[in-house]
Structure 1
Amino acid sequence: MKPVAFRGVRAILFDLDGTLIDSAPDLGAAADGMRVRRGLPSKPLLDYRPHVGSGARGMLHVAFGMGVEHVDYEHYKQEFFVDYESCLIQRTRPFEEVGQLVSSLLELGLLWGVVTNKAQRFTVPITRSMELFDSAATVISGDTTAHAKPHPEPLLEAARRMSLQPAQCIYVGDDERDIRAGRSAGMWTVAARYGYLGAGADVASWGADAEVSSPLQVLQLLELP
């Protein structure tokens, strides 16, 4: 992809899991704990990591080969949520360079925030547990608005809360729905190739305005006065 410089940017918005934080160890542990309780052998984190972007659906697929059409899916999903809630900040950490990226954005006088599909019951404890998020201008969860990504409404709500126009914002995410949501909202979009892309993800087909292979590369996209 050709280098691109974004002009007139006042804020950078980020997806949470796979973009700012590595939550795979806790998500995988919750699903794997369900396997072990049922007498099944443990699976390695490497099996779970590529499917983190799909949330409970992805974790249960890896752990049990279970799809949403399974008769017990809703029961297993609620059990997974309870288990995850009990361990969601045990192993989850910001990705390397994220802290430095946020510090640099603040030094440049830019706002930053989070727009995730993760429910508030999980987002709030995680963001409150990390000093990193103290400087976030806004945190939008999957149930903050009536819609979740790829619908643009969560991103539009984030812009409203920062008193900015969508065109003044960049949205960075590691899933195709992030890019679809950002484009629909009228924001610049950046695909985070270091995130939970999933097996066989064709990132180039997502239509992002730019791609980065590490968090700090986001700074190289900014054209500031």
Structure 2
Amino acid sequence: MQYQAILFDIDGTLIDSFPPYAKVMTNVLAIHNKPISVEQLKKTFSMTLDRAFKYLRIPESLQDQFEMEYLNEKARLNLKPVLFKGISHVFKSLNQKTLPGIAIVTSGGDQEVNELLNAYPFMKKIWTAVTADTIPYHKPEPEPLLHAVNQMGINPKHALYIGDALVDMNAAKNAKMDFGIAGWGADPKVHFTQYRYCFKQPRDILKLF
């Protein structure tokens, strides 16, 4: 199929963000004497911060405080987004084409997207970005993906979403959109059951266009 739009997750798909995420989250929880395992970190990695804190059983009354501490710790460590090898080539190649349009759909906030675009100006050619701050719905609900393609004026059936986690796969399924696994960033222990493509390297995406 010739897709008219390609949508990307950020964490674990465009940027190798698990190591810095794990460091920041571990540091924040340590302040409150709350240990966290590697498995818990992997589980919460693809969640919005509020869902992650809920999963970790942080009292709702403290979640705003934890989120502020997370953002402050991230700023203190000054961790810059690092693209996976090959992502820049994919974006620069796609930017030379009229179609597909490119969008970002992430469980992260506006700040994360702004940091990414400022660090890599060639990514500013994306058509739209949908974050946890854009609408009050989050993956695996379909609304973030549907909002993105609606902004682009493209039918979901003509779009492909690429991500590294089950929440991405389920969001695509719920949006009735094709899904591609970002094999370079996905946890090899995770069993994906519904996908159209499994890309081993970012450059494999270009074979579709």
- Runs of 5+ in structure 2 lacking a partner? none
- The alpha-carbon distance between structure 1 residues 178 and 38, as it changes in their structure 2 partners (threshold 3 A), is closer
**Take 1:69 and 1:39, find their aligned partners in 2: how far apart are those partners?**
12
- The alpha-carbon distance between structure 1 residues 57 and 202, as it changes in their structure 2 partners (threshold 3 A), is farther
TM-score of the two chains, using structure 1 as the length reference: 0.75
Tell me what 1:53 maps to: 46
- The alpha-carbon distance between structure 1 residues 149 and 38, as it changes in their structure 2 partners (threshold 3 A), is closer
Q: Which has the larger radius of gyration?
A: 1
The one of 98, 101, 106 equivalent to 2:90 is 101
Check if 1:126 corresponds to 2:116. yes
Check if 1:192 corresponds to 2:182. yes
**C-alpha contact (below 8 Å) 1:172/1:189 kept by paired residues:** yes
Q: Describe the superposition over 1:161-185 as per-residue Cα deviations: whole angstroms up to 9, x where unpaired.
A: 1121111211001111111111222
- Runs of 5+ in structure 1 lacking a partner? 1-6, 61-65
Q: Describe the superposition over 1:5-61 as per-residue Cα deviations: whole angstroms up to 9, x where unpaired.
A: xx13111110011101112343233234446767999x9xx889745334658988x
Q: What is the correspondence of 1:1-225 to structure 2 with a 5 Å cutoff?
A: 7-34=1-28, 50-51=42-43, 52-54=45-47, 56=49, 67-68=56-57, 74=63, 75-87=65-77, 90-110=79-99, 111-197=101-187, 200-203=189-192, 205=193, 207-220=194-207, 222=208
Q: Describe the superposition over 1:113-132 as per-residue Cα deviations: whole angstroms up to 9, x where unpaired.
A: 10001122333233333223
AA aligned opposite 2:2: G
AA aligned opposite 1:23: S
Alignment RMSD: 3.2
Following superposition, the deviation at residue 138 of structure 1 comes to 0.9
- The alpha-carbon distance between structure 1 residues 213 and 58, as it changes in their structure 2 partners (threshold 3 A), is farther
- The alpha-carbon distance between structure 1 residues 161 and 23, as it changes in their structure 2 partners (threshold 3 A), is same
- The alpha-carbon distance between structure 1 residues 138 and 86, as it changes in their structure 2 partners (threshold 3 A), is farther
Q: Describe the superposition over 1:52-106 as per-residue Cα deviations: whole angstroms up to 9, x where unpaired.
A: 334658988xxxxx9225688624444223312444x634211100011112222
**C-alpha contact (below 8 Å) 1:28/1:48 kept by paired residues:** no
Bigger drift between 133-142 and 47-56 goes to 47-56
Tell me what 1:63 maps to: none
Following superposition, the deviation at residue 208 of structure 1 comes to 1.0
